[in-house]
């Protein structure tokens, strides 16, 4: 039913060895301009400023998620049996496209544009773009089916679980990939063991066999460590805070399109307008870097200073947001002429490596016990039990420029 490529295509990948493609529709999506755009967006936002090799892109991650979904639907016997041919193709495409709506600088930019990458993902798949046309040419209604898997609205819950749950292809790929490219070892875990112990319960629930519990414990710990060592690294957050302040300053000044130092693509963001898909297409990290380079010459001293800080990695330092020192530091900054609206940034993050029974619905990891019972992970693992009953770890910081005395 689905057209095959004339021969199997393989793409070399440091995490999975090879990415295998033998469906024409998958190959056409990979070669579309929207998918190629992901090469120009880094996977980890500002983390490359800390981990100098973390320059890997959303392009590689998206291919990796596709490959893991492909392996799950072809190589995990229970999943292979539970899904129709069409469902398999749909979920592979959903894996490939799940991050297509990501903008530059990852989540930092979502705060600037005030819209989530999920919203853009669904728009790009369904609003008559090149992606929509490739999917619809392959099979009428396919674009909606793919978008429904990504937004958890499809009829078969198993499909969405493969892409985003607690044990999903997205996390499986990004942990290994980000650990590899940052050079941190914490993110590694035994993927092969997890895949081997995956089963489908009742035709619609992904579960792990009891013998896979240790591999899953290790995976949960890997997430925990990667969050605190990489994703929430304070230096990366400092970079993202400056980015945020730069746009805040442009918004506050209400810059209009007569300013020769501002690239046109920034105007919809500054004006807080809904961004068109064609503008969004052009808004990648290469164009933003060009835009920031232009801003280093801006007559407004705050804009040019913040832009130079981004370009030359002259980052803000940081301190616990509850520190007694903060009042003194704020006064010092003011005395040195810093406008605290743009030179005092608060950022609070919190993360739990695994939250069962969350508000978003069934987000549990289920374990299939030898006696046939289905247990939620924290009831099958003492380590996970202690982890979820302990306090949530958070990190609240303020970021500000160093005052040289």
Q: Are 284 and 37 in contact (CB under 8 A)?
A: yes
Shortest distance, CB of residue 175 to Ca ion, whole angstroms?
Answer: 11
Cβ proximity to Ca ion: between 99 and 347 the closer is: 99
Number of residues near Ca ion (by CB under 5 A): 2
Shortest distance, CB of residue 38 to Ca ion, whole angstroms?
Answer: 11
Cβ proximity to Ca ion: between 19 and 367 the closer is: 19
How many residues would you count in the chain? 405
Among 158, 161, 155, 97, smallest CA distance to 126 is for: 97
Residue, CB closest to Ca ion: 170
Taking the C-alpha atoms of residue 125 and residue 144, their distance in angstroms, rounded to an integer, is 8
Q: What is the DSSP string of 147-174?
A: HHHHTT-SS-HHHHHHHSSSS-HHHHHH
- Give the sign of the dihedral formed by CA 199, CA 205, CA 206, CA 209: negative
Taking the C-alpha atoms of residue 176 and residue 50, their distance in angstroms, rounded to an integer, is 18
- With contacts defined by CB under 5 A, name the span among 93-101, 134-142, 347-355, 393-401 that binds Ca ion: 93-101
Task: Collapse the DSSP code of 104 into the 3-class scheme (helix H, G, I; strand E, B; otherwise coil) and give the result.
Answer: coil
Shortest distance, CB of residue 191 to Ca ion, whole angstroms?
Answer: 16
* 67 near Ca ion (CB under 5 A): no
Taking the C-alpha atoms of residue 108 and residue 96, their distance in angstroms, rounded to an integer, is 23
Cβ proximity to Ca ion: between 87 and 170 the closer is: 170
* 99 near Ca ion (CB under 5 A): yes
CA 185 centroid distance within chain: 20
Taking the C-alpha atoms of residue 96 and residue 154, their distance in angstroms, rounded to an integer, is 17
In the range 157-216, which residues lie near Ca ion by CB under 5 A? Answer: 170
Cβ proximity to Ca ion: between 67 and 99 the closer is: 99
Shortest distance, CB of residue 62 to Ca ion, whole angstroms?
Answer: 7
Shortest distance, CB of residue 107 to Ca ion, whole angstroms?
Answer: 11
- With contacts defined by CB under 5 A, name the span among 28-36, 66-74, 97-105, 287-295 that binds Ca ion: 97-105
Shortest distance, CB of residue 41 to Ca ion, whole angstroms?
Answer: 12
Taking the C-alpha atoms of residue 111 and residue 9, their distance in angstroms, rounded to an integer, is 38
317-320 and 198-201 strand pairing: unpaired
Taking the C-alpha atoms of residue 232 and residue 227, their distance in angstroms, rounded to an integer, is 6
- With contacts defined by CB under 5 A, name the span among 29-37, 96-104, 236-244, 252-260 that binds Ca ion: 96-104
Cβ proximity to Ca ion: between 169 and 213 the closer is: 169
Shortest distance, CB of residue 57 to Ca ion, whole angstroms?
Answer: 12
Letters for 274-313 (x = contact with Ca ion by CB under 5 A, - = none) are: ----------------------------------------
* 259 near Ca ion (CB under 5 A): no
CA 65 centroid distance within chain: 12
Residues that bind Ca ion (CB under 5 A): 99, 170
């Amino acid at each position: 039913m689905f057209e095959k490529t004339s021969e199997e295509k393989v793409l070399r990948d440091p995490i999975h060895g090879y990415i295998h493609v033998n469906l024409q529709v998958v190959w056409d999506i990979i070669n579309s301009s929207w998918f190629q755009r992901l090469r120009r967006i880094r996977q980890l936002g500002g983390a490359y400023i800390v981990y100098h090799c973390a320059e890997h892109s959303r392009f590689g991650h998206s291919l990796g998620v596709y490959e893991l979904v492909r392996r799950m639907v072809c190589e995990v016997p229970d999943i292979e049996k539970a899904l129709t041919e069409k469902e398999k193709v749909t979920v592979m495409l959903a894996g490939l496209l799940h991050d297509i709506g990501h903008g530059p600088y990852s989540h930092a930019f979502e705060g600037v544009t005030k819209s989530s990458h999920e919203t853009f993902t669904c728009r790009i798949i369904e609003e008559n773009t090149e992606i929509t046309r490739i999917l619809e040419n392959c099979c009428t209604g396919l674009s909606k089916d793919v978008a429904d898997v990504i937004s958890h609205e499809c009829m078969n819950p198993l499909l969405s679980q493969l892409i985003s749950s607690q044990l999903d292809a997205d996390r499986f790929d990004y942990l290994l990939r980000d650990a590899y490219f940052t050079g941190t070892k914490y993110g590694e875990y035994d993927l092969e063991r997890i895949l081997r112990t995956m089963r489908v319960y009742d035709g619609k629930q992904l579960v792990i066999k009891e013998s896979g519990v240790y591999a899953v414990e290790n995976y949960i710990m890997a997430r925990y460590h990667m969050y605190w060592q990489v994703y929430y690294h304070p230096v990366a957050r400092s970079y993202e805070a400056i980015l945020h302040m730069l746009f805040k300053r442009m918004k506050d000044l209400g810059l209009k399109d007569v300013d020769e130092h501002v690239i046109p693509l920034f105007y919809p963001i500054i004006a807080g307008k809904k961004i068109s898909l064609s503008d969004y297409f052009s808004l990648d990290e290469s164009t933003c870097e060009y835009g920031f380079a232009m801003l280093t010459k801006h007559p407004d001293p705050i804009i040019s200073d913040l832009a130079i800080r981004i370009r030359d990695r002259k980052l803000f330092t940081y301190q616990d947001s509850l520190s007694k020192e903060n009042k003194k530091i704020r006064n010092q900054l003011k005395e040195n002429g810093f406008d605290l609206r743009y030179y005092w940034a608060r950022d609070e993050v919190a993360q739990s490596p695994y939250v069962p029974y969350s508000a978003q619905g069934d987000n549990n990891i289920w374990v299939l016990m030898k006696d046939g019972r289905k247990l939620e992970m924290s009831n099958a693992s003492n380590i996970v039990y202690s982890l979820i009953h302990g306090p949530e770890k958070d990190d609240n910081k303020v970021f500000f420029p160093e005052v040289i005395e």
